[in-house]
Chains A and B, each alone.
Chain A
Amino acid sequence: MSALNIKKGTTKHSAYNLRPNFSDVDERHTLAILVDNEAGVLARVIGLFSGRGYNIESLTVAEVDHTGHLSRITIVTTGTPQIIEQIKAQIGRIIPVHEVHDLTIEGPSVERELAMLKVVGSGDKRLEAMRMADIFRANVVDSTLNSFVFEINGAPDKIDAFVELMRPLGLVEIARTGVAAILRGE
């Protein structure tokens, strides 16, 4: 199994888009980056973003190919089309980086994130929290007489909505994984 099943050159945009549109409107892009899983590689990617003043909205990383020691980094970032192209080109220059893909352009893609929320309360609030969790298909992964830990996964905005609903119901702690994303279809 290839760690990143995207054929090079399958779309017009798959390498670098050297003729981007030059709009000044910020866009949100999800990038999938395949890197050698070696010491310091994440520091190189993150250092690039901080050193050049780019945004990171979300970042996830895990080894996806244990024999080839390849990790997949998913970064959600924002910027004008020119900045987004610059970010991809800069990441592409990092020596342990194998491939950079812009899932937003190459898409459509599916984005998922997992979150765990600790909600403390009793009485009506507790019942309401349980009801909402049901509607959002969140699972209860831990409970005491006064608390729940809900596990929810879905697109980031679904999780945002669930978090907002839980706030008045006794939300005390949130852990989120950040976005993992993959292209739809073959």
Chain B
Amino acid sequence: MKREMTGAQMVIQSLRDQGVDTVFGYPGGAVLPIYDEIFQQNDIRHILVRHEQGAVHAAEGYARSTGKPGVVLVTSGPGATNAVTGLTDALLDSIPIVVLTGQVPAFMIGTDAFQEADTIGITRPCTKHNWLVKETDLLSSVIHEAFHVATTGRPGPVLVDIPKDVQFANGLYTGPKPATSRYQPQLKGDIESITELVAAMETAKRPVFYTGGGVINSGPAASQLLRELVDATGFPITSTLMGLGSYPATGKNWLGMLGMHGLYEANLAMHGCDLMINIGARFDDRITGLISAFSPNSLKAHIDIDPSSINKVIRCDIPIVGDVAHVLEDILKIWKTRGRKTNGNAVTKWQSQISEWRKADCLGFSTSAKSIKPQFALERLQALTNDHDRYVTTEVGQHQMWAAQYLHFNDPNRFMTSGGLGTMGYGFPSSIGVQMAHPSSLVINIAGEASWLMNMQEMGTAIQYNLPVKQFILNNERLGMVRQWQELLHGERYSHTWSEALPDFVKLAEAFGAKGIRCHDPADLDDAIMEMINYDGPVIFDCLVEKHENCFPMIPSGKPHNEMLMGDAETQGVIDSKGSVMV
């Protein structure tokens, strides 16, 4: 049914009809009519962030922890340009978000009007799609299509740019009609290729599942089916940073994360396998290392909803385009009807080979009585929060990798991190978005002090909305990850990787009205962590850690999987000049 209303009213009505309960935003001249409508209703909660980048990361956290799209509302010009980093982050990590931007009135576009920016031009390469709406009559259908595109197929960020005159004018509202959209990516995989994969699974001697963010994108059913398939076949499974939690860390076939800072056993299994089953991962360069030496003797199957992910970097033998859950369902069905066969003896031998690799204990580290090792801090945090209904976000750097290594994720949608873009400043606002979606859960942001400062203004948001987010800062007073590379690659010349002039984080917390906790003695750590968990409100936990700890294992850039650096390795000069051009 069509109803007449203003453009601004349409925005609110569209969000309502899309089931949106929360919008992260920041007002300004070009969105005033929409803010006026927000004022006059109670269905949708608006969270006032302190910077538009924060709004987008908060929406990402909300989206990744719920499986629903995150929604952002910002003004034209600087409001829109501040959203660009978040959009790019969501694009690289396939996070569904809908960003609504105000624009100068349509008749003023192109005149360098006040706070005019070519938002569509600027965001074209960092959105899945974007729209400039010049007629109020089209506004609601465009917003509904935007939600459809953001959440369908490979998810991603979309943007709708709405000139102010369009917000004021009257037009006809239309409700959501996703089925009529031309954009309908294929969900079912090709049965012939799936059968080919099942046949390969039946005979494989050294199979491995390599899973990624696509399993989480596909929804909870995909994780369930994955568990069933892994447990039924007994094949070992590793995951990328983005896929952690889709298979439980407590599962017996779990190898841990793979890749540059992945586990020894996971990387060696990838290197030595004869059948690699990629499920919703994209052969990122943090995974492949030296392409020409990547898993040289395996048959490679790749399940991905986006045909452009297939053969992009690694040549694939069995391509399957489709949604993870749909394809896994068919794999299970076909594998069962063909008699649930695996190459039992060979797979058992393979498992014992992997057990041998496990003995290397690649995450082992030496504890210290004097200072807190960052790994130890996370091990304790894991032990003390394991039984909680817990969500974890991270910033970017060493602490992020340690979080992936030492925290255990047993369910999907529990770990929010900036993988593809590696955006410092992601974690804190993201934790705010997660806490909005899960008000009574324990939400912890694992941070480095440098990353955390990049969006620290969001303390105001946490306080205003009473969000008890825990900021667990592993403070090494260094840009640790960059410092590590300088140590390994640049002759220990530590160019600008000190965090100088740091604030007193406890006082900073108090200045905002939050709780501050500082800990530097390993003996006090457990109590301090418990104090953080038990405090009902936002906490900044300043965990002063060992300053020069490096993150291992590490596959140096330009090296294959079987040339990993371990904790006590000789680290000087291990990366040759060819490797050092890579990031």
- A residues near B, CB below 8 A? 16, 18-20, 22, 39-40, 43-44, 47, 51, 82, 85-86, 89-90, 92-95, 98
B125 within 8 A of A: yes
In the bound complex, do residue B308 and residue A18 qualify as a contact, i.e. CB atoms below 8 Å apart? no
Q: With A18-B319, A39-B132 as given contacts, are A93 and B306 in contact (CB-CB < 8 Å)?
A: yes
Complexed CA–CA distance, A19 and B310 (Å): 10
In the bound complex, do residue A89 and residue B307 qualify as a contact, i.e. CB atoms below 8 Å apart? yes
Complexed CA–CA distance, A86 and B307 (Å): 8
Partner of B124 from the list A18, A43, A90, A93 (CB cut-off 8 Å) is A43
Partner of B311 from the list A18, A44, A47, A92 (CB cut-off 8 Å) is A18
Q: Which residues of A contact B120 (CB under 8 A)?
A: 40
Min CB distance B34 to A, Å, is 23
Complexed CA–CA distance, A70 and B176 (Å): 24
In the bound complex, do residue A95 and residue B310 qualify as a contact, i.e. CB atoms below 8 Å apart? no
Q: What are 20 residue pairs bridging A and B, where the CB atoms are less than 8 Å apart in the complex?
A: A16-B307, A18-B307, A18-B310, A18-B311, A18-B319, A20-B311, A22-B315, A39-B132, A40-B121, A47-B124, A47-B125, A89-B306, A89-B307, A90-B308, A92-B308, A93-B306, A93-B308, A95-B149, A95-B183, A98-B182
Partner of A86 from the list B132, B149, B312 (CB cut-off 8 Å) is B312
Q: Which residues of B contact A86 (CB under 8 A)?
A: 308, 311-312
- B residues near A, CB below 8 A? 120-121, 124-125, 128-129, 132, 149, 182-183, 306-308, 310-312, 315-316, 319, 321
In the bound complex, do residue A85 and residue B182 qualify as a contact, i.e. CB atoms below 8 Å apart? no
Q: Which residues of B contact A95 (CB under 8 A)?
A: 128-129, 149, 183
Complexed CA–CA distance, A44 and B132 (Å): 14
Partner of B319 from the list A19, A22, A92 (CB cut-off 8 Å) is A19
In the bound complex, do residue B307 and residue A44 qualify as a contact, i.e. CB atoms below 8 Å apart? no
Min CB distance A28 to B, Å, is 20
Min CB distance B136 to A, Å, is 17
Min CB distance A113 to B, Å, is 29
In the bound complex, do residue B315 and residue A82 qualify as a contact, i.e. CB atoms below 8 Å apart? yes
Q: With A40-B120, A82-B311 as given contacts, are A51 and B183 in contact (CB-CB < 8 Å)?
A: no
Complexed CA–CA distance, A18 and B311 (Å): 7
Min CB distance B160 to A, Å, is 13
In the bound complex, do residue A40 and residue B312 qualify as a contact, i.e. CB atoms below 8 Å apart? no
Min CB distance B223 to A, Å, is 25
In the bound complex, do residue B125 and residue A51 qualify as a contact, i.e. CB atoms below 8 Å apart? yes
Most B CB contacts (10 A, CB to CB) among A39, A93, A95 go to A95
Q: Which residues of A contact B312 (CB under 8 A)?
A: 86
Complexed CA–CA distance, A86 and B306 (Å): 11
Using CB atoms, name the residue of chain B closest to A20. B311
Q: Which residues of A contact B125 (CB under 8 A)?
A: 47, 51
Q: Which residues of A contact B183 (CB under 8 A)?
A: 95
Min CB distance A14 to B, Å, is 13
In the bound complex, do residue B308 and residue A43 qualify as a contact, i.e. CB atoms below 8 Å apart? no
Using CB atoms, name the residue of chain A closest to B319. A18
Q: A20-B311, A89-B310 are in contact. List 15 more A-B contacts (CB 8 A).
A: A16-B307, A18-B319, A40-B120, A40-B121, A43-B121, A44-B124, A47-B125, A82-B311, A86-B311, A89-B306, A89-B307, A93-B306, A95-B129, A95-B149, A98-B182
Complexed CA–CA distance, A44 and B120 (Å): 11
Using CB atoms, name the residue of chain A closest to B182. A98
Q: Which residues of A contact B129 (CB under 8 A)?
A: 94-95
